[in-house]
Structure 1
Amino acid sequence: MTGARMTTLAQLRGSIERIETHSDTYAPDRVSLGHAEADAALQGGLARGTMHEVFAEGRHSAAATGFVAGLAHRVSAKRPLLWIRQDFSERECGALAMSGWRELGLDPRLLVTVRAPDVETALRTTADALACDALGSVVLETWGDSKQFDLVASRKLTLAARGSGVTCLLLRTASVPASSTAETRWIIRSAHSPPFRPWQSWGAPMLDVQLVRNRHGPNGQWIMEWKCDECVFRDTSAHPQPVAAAPANRSHQTSARAQRRAS
C-alpha cells in the first residue's frame, strides 16, 4: 500500500515538474472575449484547458457570477457547463436563477449544477469532473478562505484541466488571493448601468473588470458590457451614451433671456 502511494506521489510530482518546466512553451487554444483590449492582453483571448481564478467581495457576488457565466459560455463552445457550488456559497449568494440565465442570453439546458457540503468535497468533485472531456468547462464556486485551497490543490486542478482540455473557472467570493498555478486571476465589481432605452427600468450588465494576474501578457482594468444578444463582452467606450437634443426654439429662448437681463 505504501509503495503504491509513493508511486502515485512520484507520478504527480513528475507531472507538476513538467507543467512548471514547459509553462512558457505551452500554447493552449484561445477564445476571444469580444473586448478588444482584454483580448490583446490575453494574447488573443482566454486560454482553454487551463485554470482561471475570479475573485469578488460578497456584495459583488452577482456581478462575479455573471462574469464567470459569460467566460464559461465563451470557452464551452455549446458543450455542457458543470457548476459546482459549496453549500455555504449558495446560502450566502442564493441559487442560480434560470430566468436570469436566459436573460443573459445563455441556455439553461446546458447547465448542470452540483452542491457540495464542504470545500474538500467540492475540490474532489471538480478534479473528477475535469477528467470528462465531454464538458466545455467546470466552475467551482466557494465562499471565504480555506486551507484546502493551497498550491497543491491548485496544481491538481491545473493538471486535470490540461489533461482533458476542459477549462476550469474558480469563483472565489469573500476570499483573499494566494499563490496558485492559475493562468489568469480577475477581480470583479459591479459597475454603473444606465438604462439602455428610456422605457427600460434595467440597464445592460456592466462590470468593473480587473486582470491582476496574466501568465503570458500584461494586466489591465476595464469597464465591460455583456451583450446578451451576442453573448460577448464589449468596450463601453465604443457605444457612446445618447445626448439629449437641443430644443428647436433654443436660440429664441436664449435671446429672450438675454433681453430680460439687459432690461
Structure 2
Amino acid sequence: MENIRPDDRLTALRAQLATLGASRKSAASRQTPSSTEFPARWAHGVLHDLYAATPVDAVAVNAFGLGAGVQAADGRIVVWGLHEMMGIEAGRPHGPGLHEMGLAPSDVLLVRAPDIQTLLVIGEEALRTPAVGAVLLSAWGEAKALSLTASRRLALAAETGGGTLFLARAGATPAPSAAETRWSVQAATSTPLEGGAPGRPSFSATLLRRRGGGEQRHWTLEWDRDARSFREPPLSGAVVPVAAQRPAEAWGERGRRVA
C-alpha cells in the first residue's frame, strides 16, 4: 500500500466500510466522565481530544486511544486512521502488541493517511458508517489543518453517525476545539504480574477540560486485555494473575490490516 494514491486509498476505505453493513447497537446515552471516577463508558457521538504529554508518549497516547475506542465501540468495529508521520516518529502498529491488548484482526480496520487532510476525510467517512462504533485518528505535530473548524466538522460527523471519535495527537500543544473532553496522556509504571512477568499497559491520564466545566482530574490506569477495559491498578502488594495466552498469527506477517 506504500505507493497507492490517496484517492485510491479512500476509495478502498469506502468499499470496505460499505461491507460492514448497516446494523448497529443502539448508542448509549451522552455522558461525560464523573468528577471522581474514570468513565466505565465513554460519551457516544462526540469528539474526545487526547494529547501526548511529551513527544515520547506518542505510543502511550495511541494505545490509550485504541483502548478507549474499543470500550466506546461496544462490540462494533474501530477504524484507526494513522498519519504516516506518526508511524515514522512513533512506530507503526505491531500485530503481537495488538494481540497483547486482547484485540483480534476483526476488531480494528487500520487506514494509513499520507497527510492530515486525508486523515480528516478518513475520520468523516468512517463516522458516517453506522457499523463503525469508534474512530481513532492519530496525528503527529502541529498542523493548520487541525483547526477549530475541522474539529467542528468531525464533532458534527460523530453526532450524526453516533460513533465516538478520539483524536490522538503527539508533538502538539492543546488547542481550542469542539471536543467534549480533552486529555493529557503519558506512560506510567506498570504493576508486575505473577512471577515477575511484565505488567499490563499502564497510563497516567489527566482530564484537562470537560464541556460544561469542572476541575481537572487525574487517574493512573492499566489496560485489562481480558475485560477489554481500563481499570485502576491493584493496591500495592496485590498479585494479578497472568492473562491467558492467545494466538497472534491472525494479524499476518506485518501485523496490521490496511485499507
Instruction: Return the offset for 1:50.
Output: 0.6
Instruction: Return the offset for 1:217.
Output: 5.5
Partner of 1:38: 38
User: Structure 2: where are the runs of 5+ without partners?
Assistant: 1-26, 240-259
Paired residues for 1:1-263 under 5 Å = 29-30=29-30, 37-39=37-39, 45-56=41-52, 57-200=54-197, 202-216=198-212, 218=214, 219-236=216-233, 238-242=234-238
Q: For 2:228 and 2:70, how far apart are their aligned partners in 1?
A: 8
Contact persistence 1:52–1:185 (CA under 8 A): yes
Which segments of structure 1 move beyond 4 Å, counting only runs of 4 or more?
Answer: 30-33
Q: What per-residue deviation string (whole Å, max 9, x for no partner) do you get for residues 121-149 of structure 1?
A: 11122112211111011111110000111
Coordinate RMSD, CA, aligned: 2.5
Q: For 1:72 and 1:95, how far apart are their aligned partners in 2?
A: 18
Instruction: Return the offset for 1:30.
Output: 5.0
In proportion to residue count, which structure has more helix?
A: 1
Q: What per-residue deviation string (whole Å, max 9, x for no partner) do you get for residues 48-95 of structure 1?
A: 111001100221112112211110111111111111111111111111
Amino acid at match of 1:84: G
Q: For 2:231 and 2:36, how far apart are their aligned partners in 1?
A: 8
Q: Give the number of aligned pairs.
A: 211
Higher relative contact order (CA 8 A, sep 6+): 2
- When Rg is computed on C-alpha atoms for both structures, the one with the higher figure is 1
Distance of aligned partners of 1:239 and 1:98 in 2 relative to their CA distance in 1, 3 Å threshold? same
Instruction: Return the offset for 1:104.
Output: 1.0
Report SS of the residue matched to 2:71: helix
Instruction: Return the offset for 1:32.
Output: 9.8
Amino acid at match of 2:151: S
Amino acid at match of 2:195: P
Distance of aligned partners of 1:109 and 1:198 in 2 relative to their CA distance in 1, 3 Å threshold? same
Instruction: Return the offset for 1:224.
Output: 0.8
TM-score, normalising length: structure 1: 0.74
Amino acid at match of 1:51: L
Instruction: Return the offset for 1:177.
Output: 1.0
Report SS of the residue matched to 2:149: helix
Report SS of the residue matched to 1:47: coil
